[in-house]
């Protein structure tokens, strides 16, 4: 919340500064006796393109239109002053707006449009001194203005290109994390279905042996076969839904744990000065769907890993398992202040929660993380424990 307040203040200062330097342009044009409307139109178009809030921006106002149209207006203003052989002012407001538009073009426009719009913005900025000097080489001051413009253009475009590269690398990392998580879910699917199908096979063999002399006892066996088949199909339907555009899973991937394995996970995590408590309510059944148990295990595993990475000073960690309104609620809370002795390289890239959210939401669940009301941090997941059963239509 504090960072959001700081970002809001920084944005307010930036907007105020941009408006202030734009007012300077208008005052310069007014003091010099020039017509105000050309400068006002160029500045208004540029400020609208830069300051229009992203959440309220219409779909037609694309980055290429935002960055290209004001640059063309600026170039037209410059060309008109040259053709009419009349001086026209240029000031810090228009230059700042064009630099902002250059930044937006390089960072946010599609690749080809980024080049076109970036050249337009840079060209418009470099052309502004010719309104007054009539040529980029006239006198001693014009080349200096052009040199300063080139430096500003290089710094702005370089920073925007660097941030664009970071955005691309993060997008690739997130996609790889999601793909890896889906492959892990595919491995889980292999284990779940294999478990159910093996049960069907065993019970079918029993039914065949009983068919000869124990026909009266076939009913429970056939009911078990039906139940196992239904659970297998339900597991497959829920899990395959998230395996979009992925290759066949590696069958050698290690299967994940279940609710029973969470206790072993908590015991292995406990260390001197750091106590882990598992609070499993009696209402939590042991025969929940395998994919739900696997997701619960992953939630606890990721939360404990994050405690070790980011809150090594925590003295107490509590794992909660509760059954509330046909949902399994998994919580992991700690009392750490955020201190850790791990090196920065061991903190991870922050993609563990992305993959975990992919798994939880794939099952129709919710995942929330945040500080507790007192001291510490909480990770909370809510997973559905019931499945929709198909109804048979008769008649």
Nearest to 25 by CA among 99, 91, 74: 91
**What is the rounded CA–CA span in Å between residue 262 and residue 13?**
50
What's the CA angle centered on 314, arms 312 and 318, to 5 degrees?
A: 125
Instruction: Identify the CA nearest to 342 among candidates 376, 377, 379, 307.
Output: 307
Between CA 60 and CA 80 the distance in angstroms is: 29
Neighbour tally for 2: CB within 10 Å? 6
The CA-CA-CA angle for residues 296, 298, 299, to 5°, reads 65
Q: Widest CA span of the chain, in angstroms?
A: 113
The whole-angstrom separation of Cα 69 and Cα 50 is: 12
3-state secondary structure of 319: strand
Reported as type and span, the H/E element at residue 369 is strand 366-371
Question: Phi first, then psi: what are they for 9, rounded to 5°?
Answer: -65, -45
On whether the CB atoms of residues 197 and 232 are closer than 8 A, the answer is yes
251 three-class SS: coil
**Measured in Å, how far apart are the chain's first and last C-alpha atoms?**
60
| Pair 296, 262: CB distance under 8 Å | yes
Question: Number of C-alpha atoms within 13 angstroms, CB side, residue 287?
Answer: 4
> Which segments of the chain have a pLDDT < 50?
1-3, 244-255, 341-349, 387-395
**Residue 58: both structure tokens together:** 């219409």
352-358 contact pairs (CB < 8 A, 24+): 352/177, 352/302, 352/305, 352/306, 353/302, 353/306, 354/174, 354/177, 354/178, 355/177, 355/178, 355/180, 355/181, 356/181, 356/298, 356/299, 356/302, 358/177, 358/178, 358/181, 358/182, 358/242
Query: What does the pLDDT read at residue 325?
Result: 83
Contacts of 70 (CB under 8 A, 6+ apart): 42, 45, 46, 49, 97, 98, 101
Q: Are 291 and 305 in contact (CB under 8 A)?
A: no
Q: For position 75, what pLDDT does the model report?
A: 92
């Amino acid at each position: 919340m504090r960072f959001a307040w700081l970002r809001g203040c920084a944005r307010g200062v930036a907007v105020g500064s941009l408006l202030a330097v734009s007012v300077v342009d208008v005052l310069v044009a007014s003091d010099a006796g020039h017509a105000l409307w050309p400068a006002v139109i160029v500045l208004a178009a540029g400020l609208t393109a830069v300051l229009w809030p992203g959440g309220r921006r219409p779909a037609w106002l694309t980055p290429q239109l935002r960055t290209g149209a004001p640059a063309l207006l600026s170039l037209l203003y410059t060309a008109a002053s040259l053709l009419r052989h009349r001086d026209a002012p240029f000031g810090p407001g228009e230059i700042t707006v064009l630099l902002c538009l250059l930044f937006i073009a390089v960072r946010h426009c599609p690749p080809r449009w980024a080049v076109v719009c970036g050249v337009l913005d840079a060209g418009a900025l470099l052309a502004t001194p010719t309104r007054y000097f009539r040529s980029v080489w006239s006198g001693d001051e014009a080349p200096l203005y052009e040199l300063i413009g080139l430096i500003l253009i290089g710094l702005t475009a370089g920073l925007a290109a660097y941030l664009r590269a970071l955005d691309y690398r993060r997008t690739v990392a997130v996609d790889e994390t999601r793909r890896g998580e889906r492959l892990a879910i595919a491995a889980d699917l292999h284990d779940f279905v294999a478990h159910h199908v093996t049960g069907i096979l065993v019970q079918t063999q029993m039914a065949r042996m009983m068919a000869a002399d124990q026909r009266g006892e076939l009913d429970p066996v056939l009911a078990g076969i039906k139940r196992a088949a239904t659970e297998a199909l339900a597991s497959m339907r829920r899990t395959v839904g998230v395996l979009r555009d992925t290759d066949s899973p590696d069958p050698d991937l290690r299967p994940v744990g279940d609710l029973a394995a969470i206790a072993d996970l908590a015991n292995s995590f406990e260390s001197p000065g750091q106590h882990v408590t598992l609070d499993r309510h009696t209402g939590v059944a042991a025969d929940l769907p395998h994919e739900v148990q696997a997701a619960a295990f992953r939630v606890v595993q990721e939360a404990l890993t994050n405690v070790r990475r980011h809150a090594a000073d925590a003295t107490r960690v509590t794992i909660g398992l509760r059954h509330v309104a046909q949902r399994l609620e998994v919580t992991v809370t700690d009392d750490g202040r955020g201190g850790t002795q791990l090196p920065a390289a061991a903190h991870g890239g922050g993609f563990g929660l992305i993959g975990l959210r992919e798994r939880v939401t794939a099952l129709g669940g919710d995942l929330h993380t945040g500080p507790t009301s007192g001291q510490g941090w909480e990770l909370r997941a809510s997973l559905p424990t019931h499945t929709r059963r198909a109804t048979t239509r008769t008649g």
